[in-house]
Amino acid sequence: MADKASFAVLVLNQISKAGLERLPAGRYLTGKDLAEPDAILVRSADMHSMAIPASVLAIGRAGAGTNNIPVQALNARGVPVFNTPGANANAVKELVLAGMLMAARRLGAAQHFVAQLDGADGLDKAIEEGKKPFAGFELANQTLGVIGLGKVGCLVADAAIKLGMHVLGYDPDITVDAAWSLPSQVQRAASVEDVLRNAQLVTLHVPLVEATRHLVNADRLRLMRADGVLLNFSREGVADDAAVVAALDARRLGAYVCDFPNRAILRHPQVIAFPHLGASTREAEENCARMVADQLRDFLEHGNIRNAVNFPQVTMARESNWRVAIANSNVPNMLGQISTAMAQAGLNIHNMVNKSRGDMAYTLVDVDSAVDPSVLETIRAIDGVLAVRYLPVA
C-alpha cells in the first residue's frame, strides 16, 4: 500500500490520459499491476469474479453502468463505487441516432451491396437495379418510445423531437432535473407496454439490474409493430435476445439495433450490431476519465463523496486540519456513539456532516486537534461501523 501521503490506483481498463493526469505523479501511483491499491479505476472489466484486495477504499467507474462491479459486496466493506453520470451521454445519443438512421434507411445492407459490386461495365445499371430493396422510411413524424429517461434517454428524446419525431417516454423514477430537461412535446407513457404498443421505434436506456433483466421479453415483443425497430444501448440482458431473434424470424419485428453482440444475434440479417461503441468517442472517454479521477481524488484526500452509486452525496469544505471519515450502516445511535468516543478522547468537533442513503450512512467530522489512533480503533469497534479513515492535512 502507498504511504499516508500518497495513493496507489489500480487501472483495470484503458482510461484516458486526460483523467490519469488529474492524479498527480508525486502523490499518485497508477498502473495495472499494483498488489495493494487504495483505489481501482475501471470501465467495463468484469469485477464480479475478481478478488478485490482489502486495501481498496474506493472504486471509480469511468462511465455510467456499474453492473460489472459487485456493489452489494462493497457496501458491506463501506467502499463507495463512483460513476460519471452524463459524461458519455452525448456519445451514446449520437450512436442511437446513427442506429435509427441505419435501420430506417437499411444502410448496413445497402453498403454491403455496394461493397460487393465488382466495378465492371454496367456498374451504373447494377446500382440502379440493385437499390430497390433498400428503400426505407423517414424518421420525421414517426413515434420513438424512450424507456429510461436519465442522462442518455433525455438527450435521445430531445434529439428525436428536433428531428421532427413524436416521442413517448417512460420512466417511473424520473428525477426532477431530468423532467425539467425534457422538451414539453415528449408524451408521458403509462407503462412499458404503452410504449411498445404505440411507438414504431423503441430505445432502451435503463441500467441492468434484476428489475430490468429481460424488460423486453417475448410477451412484450408481441405488442410491437411488425415493422418496429428495437434499439438496445443499455446492456445485454435488458432485452431477451433469444426472444428478439424469434420475433425477427417470425416477422413480428422489423429490426434490432444493439450495442452488445452475442451468439444469439450475430450475423442475423435484421440485426445491426456495434461492438459496445456507445461511449467510445474521444470526448466521452476524456469526460468520464476526468470526472471519475476528480471524484476519486476528492474522496481519497478529503473523504468527500460525489456521484457514488451506493453512498449519499457528502461534501464538506475543510475547516480544520484533522478529519475523520466514517462509513456505517444506517441504524440508530451511530452518531451518538461516534461523538461520544471523540468527546471521551477530549476531541472538540469543529464541523460535522452526516447523511444516509438506503442502508448506508456516511459521516465527515472535522476536529480541532490531532486524533490518536486509539480513538479510530474505538470508532472502528462500534457495531455497524464499516470503514473509518483519518485524513489529516499533510
Ligand X SMILES: O=C(O)[C@H](O)COP(=O)(O)O
Give residues in contact with ligand X (CB under 6 A): 43-44, 63-65, 88, 276, 278-280
Residue number with CB closer to ligand NAD (106 or 205)? 205
In whole angstroms, the minimum distance from the beta carbon of 83 to ligand X comes to: 8
Residue 45 in grid coordinates: 472489466
- Binding site partner of 89, from ligand X, ligand NAD, none, Cβ cut-off 5-8 A by kind: ligand NAD
In whole angstroms, the minimum distance from the beta carbon of 45 to ligand X comes to: 8
Contacts of 382 (CB under 8 A, 6+ apart): 328, 334, 337, 338, 341
Question: By beta-carbon distance, which residue lies closest to ligand X?
Answer: 63
Buried b (16+ CB within 10 A) or exposed e, 142-168: bbbbbbbbbbbbbbbbbbbbebebbbb
Query: Binding residues for ligand NAD, per CB under 6 A?
Result: 64-65, 85, 88-89, 92, 147-153, 170-174, 178, 205-208, 211-212, 215, 233-235, 259, 276, 278-279
Cα–Cα distance measured from residue 138 to residue 105, given in angstroms and rounded to the nearest whole number:
8
3-state secondary structure of 207: coil
Question: By beta-carbon distance, which residue lies closest to ligand NAD?
Answer: 150
- Binding site partner of 211, from ligand X, ligand NAD, none, Cβ cut-off 5-8 A by kind: ligand NAD
Cα–Cα distance measured from residue 195 to residue 229, given in angstroms and rounded to the nearest whole number:
12
In whole angstroms, the minimum distance from the beta carbon of 300 to ligand NAD comes to: 24
Residue number with CB closer to ligand NAD (174 or 376)? 174
CB 208 within 8 A of CB 66: no
Residue number with CB closer to ligand X (88 or 378)? 88
Helix axis angle for 282-302 and 89-105, nearest 10°, is 150
Helix axis angle for 373-380 and 334-344, nearest 10°, is 160
Residue number with CB closer to ligand X (43 or 106)? 43
Cα–Cα distance measured from residue 153 to residue 383, given in angstroms and rounded to the nearest whole number:
42
- Binding site partner of 79, from ligand X, ligand NAD, none, Cβ cut-off 5-8 A by kind: none
Cα–Cα distance measured from residue 129 to residue 114, given in angstroms and rounded to the nearest whole number:
12
Residue number with CB closer to ligand X (60 or 145)? 60
- Binding site partner of 44, from ligand X, ligand NAD, none, Cβ cut-off 5-8 A by kind: ligand X
Cα–Cα distance measured from residue 121 to residue 119, given in angstroms and rounded to the nearest whole number:
7
In whole angstroms, the minimum distance from the beta carbon of 150 to ligand NAD comes to: 2
| CA nearest to 313, candidates 323, 300, 303 | 303
In whole angstroms, the minimum distance from the beta carbon of 36 to ligand NAD comes to: 30
In whole angstroms, the minimum distance from the beta carbon of 206 to ligand X comes to: 12
